[in-house]
Amino acid sequence: IVLGIWACNTLVTESDKDPKKAVWDEFVGMWITCLFLPKETLWLISAFICFRVLDITKPYPARKLEGLHGGMGIMADDILVGIYGAIILNIIRIALS
């Protein structure tokens, strides 16, 4: 995560605060969403869909975290969205077992 913040920070320019080529944040967020889930196709597809929906809608306070400066702002919202996704899917997993 720290390396990702640094790497994303190197891509930020004055005119582009969240460059499209910075994808490490998406990788980390998706990885967090998959934590503690069974490594089965259905769960991984569910994790991808859940993460993407949360990443697009950015529930509070994830949208506010986007405003943080540099690489921290790029990474923080996706980390939080990944945590949200992990919580949601693990609650569903526990409820179904």
pLDDT of residue 89: 98
Average pLDDT, the chain: 86
pLDDT surpasses 90 at 86: yes
pLDDT of residue 85: 98
Summarize pLDDT for 71-85 with one digit per residue, the tens. Answer: 788 888 999 999 999
| Region of 57 on the Ramachandran plot (φ > 0 left; ψ -120 to 50 alpha; else beta) | alpha
Break the chain into its structural domains and give their ranges.
2-96
Alpha helices in 1-97 (DSSP H): 2-11, 24-34, 41-57, 62-65, 70-96
Summarize pLDDT for 11-38 with one digit per residue, the tens. Answer: 666 555 555 666 788 899 999 999 999 9
